[in-house]
Protein backbone atom coordinates (compact mmCIF):
# COMPACT_ATOMS: atom_id res chain seq x y z
CA UNK A 1 0.00 0.00 0.00
CA UNK A 2 1.31 3.44 -0.87
CA UNK A 3 0.41 6.70 0.77
CA UNK A 4 1.00 10.15 -0.67
CA UNK A 5 2.10 13.05 1.53
CA UNK A 6 2.50 16.38 -0.24
CA UNK A 7 5.25 18.53 1.26
CA UNK A 8 6.22 21.74 -0.44
CA UNK A 9 4.36 20.76 -3.59
CA UNK A 10 6.34 17.50 -3.91
CA UNK A 11 4.56 14.19 -3.57
CA UNK A 12 6.14 11.99 -0.88
CA UNK A 13 5.16 8.36 -1.43
CA UNK A 14 5.56 5.36 0.85
CA UNK A 15 6.48 2.47 -1.43
CA UNK A 16 7.60 -1.07 -0.82
CA UNK A 17 11.13 -0.16 -1.95
CA UNK A 18 11.48 2.51 0.75
CA UNK A 19 9.96 0.21 3.36
CA UNK A 20 12.39 -2.58 2.47
CA UNK A 21 15.41 -0.28 2.63
CA UNK A 22 14.33 1.13 5.99
CA UNK A 23 13.59 -2.34 7.33
CA UNK A 24 17.07 -3.43 6.24
CA UNK A 25 18.69 -0.50 8.06
CA UNK A 26 16.63 -1.28 11.15
CA UNK A 27 17.55 -4.97 11.14
CA UNK A 28 21.23 -4.16 10.63
CA UNK A 29 21.05 -1.70 13.52
CA UNK A 30 19.51 -4.37 15.74
CA UNK A 31 22.31 -6.78 14.80
CA UNK A 32 24.95 -4.14 15.48
CA UNK A 33 23.31 -3.38 18.82
CA UNK A 34 23.73 -6.99 19.89
CA UNK A 35 27.22 -7.21 18.41
CA UNK A 36 28.48 -4.12 20.22
CA UNK A 37 26.86 -5.32 23.43
CA UNK A 38 28.69 -8.63 23.08
CA UNK A 39 31.93 -6.74 22.33
CA UNK A 40 31.45 -4.66 25.47
CA UNK A 41 31.12 -7.82 27.56
CA UNK A 42 34.11 -9.34 25.79
CA UNK A 43 36.42 -6.44 26.68
CA UNK A 44 34.96 -6.31 30.18
CA UNK A 45 35.96 -9.95 30.71
CA UNK A 46 39.36 -9.21 29.20
CA UNK A 47 39.89 -6.34 31.60
CA UNK A 48 38.74 -8.50 34.50
CA UNK A 49 41.15 -11.30 33.57
CA UNK A 50 44.03 -8.83 33.63
CA UNK A 51 43.21 -6.58 36.56
CA UNK A 52 41.90 -9.13 39.05
CA UNK A 53 45.12 -11.21 39.11
CA UNK A 54 47.16 -8.00 39.40
CA UNK A 55 45.06 -6.91 42.35
CA UNK A 56 45.34 -10.31 44.04
CA UNK A 57 49.12 -10.37 43.64
CA UNK A 58 49.41 -6.83 44.99
CA UNK A 59 47.34 -7.70 48.07
CA UNK A 60 49.35 -10.88 48.60
CA UNK A 61 52.62 -8.95 48.52
CA UNK A 62 51.35 -6.53 51.14
CA UNK A 63 50.27 -9.37 53.40
CA UNK A 64 53.58 -11.17 52.85
CA UNK A 65 55.47 -8.00 53.77
CA UNK A 66 53.58 -7.65 57.04
CA UNK A 67 54.09 -11.32 57.93
CA UNK A 68 57.80 -11.25 57.13
CA UNK A 69 58.25 -8.13 59.25
CA UNK A 70 56.38 -9.74 62.14
CA UNK A 71 58.38 -12.98 62.01
CA UNK A 72 61.71 -11.27 61.55
CA UNK A 73 64.80 -12.14 59.51
CA UNK A 74 65.54 -15.22 61.62
CA UNK A 75 62.59 -17.13 60.11
CA UNK A 76 62.33 -15.46 56.69
CA UNK A 77 65.60 -14.14 55.37
CA UNK A 78 65.73 -10.66 53.96
CA UNK A 79 67.04 -11.71 50.48
CA UNK A 80 64.08 -14.10 50.12
CA UNK A 81 61.64 -11.31 50.98
CA UNK A 82 63.24 -9.02 48.41
CA UNK A 83 63.13 -11.73 45.74
CA UNK A 84 59.47 -12.55 46.31
CA UNK A 85 58.45 -8.89 46.41
CA UNK A 86 60.39 -8.15 43.21
CA UNK A 87 58.81 -11.02 41.28
CA UNK A 88 55.31 -10.10 42.48
CA UNK A 89 55.79 -6.44 41.59
CA UNK A 90 57.05 -7.38 38.12
CA UNK A 91 54.00 -9.58 37.42
CA UNK A 92 51.61 -6.92 38.73
CA UNK A 93 53.18 -4.19 36.60
CA UNK A 94 53.06 -6.43 33.51
CA UNK A 95 49.36 -7.22 33.90
CA UNK A 96 48.49 -3.59 34.57
CA UNK A 97 50.47 -2.39 31.56
CA UNK A 98 48.78 -4.89 29.23
CA UNK A 99 45.36 -3.80 30.49
CA UNK A 100 46.19 -0.14 29.87
CA UNK A 101 47.67 -0.72 26.42
CA UNK A 102 44.67 -2.72 25.26
CA UNK A 103 42.36 0.10 26.40
CA UNK A 104 39.85 -2.50 27.45
CA UNK A 105 38.18 -0.11 29.87
CA UNK A 106 37.61 2.56 27.21
CA UNK A 107 36.28 0.00 24.73
CA UNK A 108 33.80 -1.30 27.29
CA UNK A 109 32.22 2.13 27.64
CA UNK A 110 32.44 2.90 23.92
CA UNK A 111 30.74 -0.32 22.79
CA UNK A 112 28.17 -0.03 25.54
CA UNK A 113 27.14 3.43 24.34
CA UNK A 114 27.18 2.29 20.71
CA UNK A 115 24.83 -0.56 21.59
CA UNK A 116 22.33 1.94 22.99
CA UNK A 117 22.60 4.20 19.93
CA UNK A 118 22.07 1.31 17.51
CA UNK A 119 19.07 0.10 19.47
CA UNK A 120 17.51 3.58 19.48
CA UNK A 121 17.84 3.72 15.69
CA UNK A 122 16.28 0.27 15.34
CA UNK A 123 13.45 1.20 17.70
CA UNK A 124 12.64 4.39 15.80
CA UNK A 125 12.50 2.63 12.42
CA UNK A 126 10.49 -0.26 13.82
CA UNK A 127 7.97 2.12 15.39
CA UNK A 128 7.51 4.13 12.19
CA UNK A 129 6.99 1.07 9.99
CA UNK A 130 4.46 -0.39 12.44
CA UNK A 131 2.10 2.53 11.71
CA UNK A 132 -0.20 2.81 8.74
CA UNK A 133 1.39 4.79 5.88
CA UNK A 134 -0.96 7.72 6.43
CA UNK A 135 0.22 8.02 10.06
CA UNK A 136 3.93 7.97 9.23
CA UNK A 137 6.19 10.91 8.64
CA UNK A 138 8.03 11.94 5.51
CA UNK A 139 9.56 8.75 4.03
CA UNK A 140 12.57 10.42 2.42
CA UNK A 141 13.52 12.39 5.53
CA UNK A 142 13.32 9.25 7.65
CA UNK A 143 15.32 7.27 5.08
CA UNK A 144 18.09 9.86 4.79
CA UNK A 145 18.37 10.49 8.53
CA UNK A 146 18.39 6.77 9.36
CA UNK A 147 21.02 6.02 6.75
CA UNK A 148 23.23 8.89 7.92
CA UNK A 149 22.95 7.90 11.58
CA UNK A 150 23.79 4.30 10.76
CA UNK A 151 26.85 5.28 8.71
CA UNK A 152 28.10 7.66 11.41
CA UNK A 153 27.81 4.93 14.04
CA UNK A 154 29.75 2.52 11.84
CA UNK A 155 32.55 5.03 11.32
CA UNK A 156 32.79 6.05 14.98
CA UNK A 157 33.12 2.54 16.41
CA UNK A 158 36.33 0.47 16.45
CA UNK A 159 36.55 -2.89 14.73
CA UNK A 160 34.73 -5.77 16.34
CA UNK A 161 36.82 -8.74 17.55
CA UNK A 162 36.66 -11.83 15.37
CA UNK A 163 35.68 -13.95 18.36
CA UNK A 164 32.58 -11.83 18.91
CA UNK A 165 31.55 -12.09 15.25
CA UNK A 166 32.01 -15.87 15.25
CA UNK A 167 29.92 -16.27 18.40
CA UNK A 168 27.20 -14.06 16.94
CA UNK A 169 27.06 -16.07 13.72
CA UNK A 170 26.70 -19.33 15.62
CA UNK A 171 24.13 -18.03 18.08
CA UNK A 172 21.88 -16.32 15.51
CA UNK A 173 22.46 -18.50 12.45
CA UNK A 174 18.79 -19.56 12.28
CA UNK A 175 17.40 -16.01 12.38
CA UNK A 176 16.04 -14.69 9.08
CA UNK A 177 17.14 -11.07 9.22
CA UNK A 178 19.28 -8.61 7.28
CA UNK A 179 22.78 -8.57 8.70
CA UNK A 180 25.58 -6.01 8.41
CA UNK A 181 27.22 -6.94 5.12
CA UNK A 182 30.53 -5.22 5.92
CA UNK A 183 31.39 -7.94 8.46
CA UNK A 184 28.99 -10.80 7.72
CA UNK A 185 28.66 -11.73 4.07
CA UNK A 186 28.42 -10.38 0.54
CA UNK A 187 25.17 -9.03 -0.82
CA UNK A 188 24.02 -7.93 -4.24
CA UNK A 189 23.28 -4.27 -4.92
CA UNK A 190 19.56 -3.53 -5.08
CA UNK A 191 18.48 -2.02 -8.41
CA UNK A 192 15.08 -0.39 -8.82
CA UNK A 193 12.68 -2.05 -11.21
CA UNK A 194 9.07 -1.08 -11.85
CA UNK A 195 7.79 -4.61 -11.33
CA UNK A 196 9.23 -4.57 -7.81
CA UNK A 197 6.57 -2.09 -6.75
CA UNK A 198 3.52 -3.72 -5.21
CA UNK A 199 1.17 -0.96 -6.29
CA UNK A 200 1.26 0.55 -9.79
CA UNK A 201 -1.56 2.87 -10.80
CA UNK A 202 -2.43 2.57 -14.50
CA UNK A 203 -4.90 4.74 -16.29
CA UNK A 204 -7.50 3.35 -18.74
CA UNK A 205 -5.48 4.80 -21.60
CA UNK A 206 -2.38 2.91 -20.49
CA UNK A 207 -4.34 -0.33 -20.12
CA UNK A 208 -5.84 -0.03 -23.61
CA UNK A 209 -2.45 0.80 -25.08
CA UNK A 210 -0.90 -2.27 -23.48
CA UNK A 211 -3.80 -4.37 -24.74
CA UNK A 212 -3.29 -3.14 -28.32
CA UNK A 213 0.41 -3.90 -28.22
CA UNK A 214 -0.05 -7.37 -26.76
CA UNK A 215 -0.25 -10.42 -29.02
CA UNK A 216 -3.38 -11.79 -27.31
CA UNK A 217 -6.66 -9.94 -27.32
CA UNK A 218 -7.97 -8.86 -23.91
CA UNK A 219 -11.02 -10.54 -22.46
CA UNK A 220 -13.74 -8.29 -21.10
CA UNK A 221 -15.76 -9.98 -18.42
CA UNK A 222 -18.76 -7.69 -18.84
CA UNK A 223 -19.14 -8.62 -22.56
CA UNK A 224 -18.01 -12.19 -23.02
CA UNK A 225 -17.70 -13.03 -26.69
CA UNK A 226 -18.35 -16.73 -26.27
CA UNK A 227 -20.05 -18.86 -28.90
CA UNK A 228 -20.99 -22.42 -28.06
CA UNK A 229 -21.25 -25.33 -30.49
CA UNK A 230 -25.07 -25.28 -30.57
CA UNK A 231 -25.14 -21.70 -31.72
CA UNK A 232 -22.61 -22.41 -34.41
CA UNK A 233 -24.63 -25.41 -35.60
CA UNK A 234 -27.83 -23.36 -35.77
CA UNK A 235 -26.12 -20.62 -37.72
CA UNK A 236 -24.73 -23.09 -40.22
CA UNK A 237 -28.08 -24.78 -40.62
CA UNK A 238 -29.79 -21.45 -41.11
CA UNK A 239 -27.21 -20.45 -43.65
CA UNK A 240 -27.72 -23.65 -45.61
CA UNK A 241 -31.49 -23.21 -45.60
CA UNK A 242 -31.25 -19.64 -46.81
CA UNK A 243 -28.84 -20.62 -49.54
CA UNK A 244 -31.04 -23.45 -50.61
CA UNK A 245 -34.09 -21.19 -50.73
CA UNK A 246 -32.26 -18.66 -52.85
CA UNK A 247 -31.15 -21.35 -55.28
CA UNK A 248 -34.69 -22.75 -55.60
CA UNK A 249 -36.12 -19.32 -56.19
CA UNK A 250 -33.51 -18.64 -58.82
CA UNK A 251 -34.34 -21.83 -60.63
CA UNK A 252 -38.06 -21.06 -60.61
CA UNK A 253 -37.55 -17.62 -62.03
CA UNK A 254 -35.23 -18.82 -64.78
CA UNK A 255 -36.95 -19.93 -68.00
CA UNK A 256 -35.38 -22.83 -69.72
CA UNK A 257 -35.36 -22.89 -73.52
CA UNK A 258 -37.73 -25.36 -75.17
User: Domain boundaries in the chain?
Assistant: 4-196
Degrees (nearest 5) of the Cα angle 33, 146, 36?
A: 15
Average pLDDT on 7-20 reads 70
Q: Report the alpha-carbon distance of residue 206 to residue 208 in Å, rounded.
A: 6
Max mean pLDDT among 29-38, 59-68, 82-91, 247-256 falls in 29-38
With residues binned 3-state (H G I as helix, E B as strand, rest as coil), the percentages for the chain, rounded to 5, are 70, 5, 30
Whether the pLDDT of residue 123 is over 90: the answer is yes
Label residue 48 by pLDDT band (50, 70, 90).
confident
Q: Report the alpha-carbon distance of residue 213 to residue 209 in Å, rounded.
A: 6
* Percentage of the chain modeled with pLDDT above 70: 67
Whether the pLDDT of residue 237 is over 60: the answer is no
Q: Which of 26-30, 66-70, 195-199 has the lowest mean pLDDT?
A: 195-199
Whether the pLDDT of residue 92 is over 50: the answer is yes
Count, residues in the chain: 258
Average pLDDT on 118-122 reads 94
Q: Report the alpha-carbon distance of residue 137 to residue 14 in Å, rounded.
A: 10
Whether the pLDDT of residue 215 is over 70: the answer is no
Residue 197: the pLDDT is 46
For the chain, how long is the longest CA-to-CA vector?
172
Label residue 13 by pLDDT band (50, 70, 90).
confident
Computed over every residue of the chain, the mean pLDDT equals 75
Label residue 184 by pLDDT band (50, 70, 90).
low
Whether the pLDDT of residue 206 is over 80: the answer is no
Residue (of 169, 124, 132, 129) closest to 3 by Cα position: 132
Residue 210: the pLDDT is 57
Whether the pLDDT of residue 201 is over 70: the answer is no
Amino acid sequence: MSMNNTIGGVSQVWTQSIEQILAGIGEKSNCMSKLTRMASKYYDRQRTYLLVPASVISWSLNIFGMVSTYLGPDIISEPLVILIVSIGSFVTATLTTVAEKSKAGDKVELFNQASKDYYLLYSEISTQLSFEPKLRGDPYSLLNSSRDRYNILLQSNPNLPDNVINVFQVRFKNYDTTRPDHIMDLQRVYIYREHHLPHVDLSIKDIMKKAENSTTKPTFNSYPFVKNDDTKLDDDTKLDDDTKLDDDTKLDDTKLPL
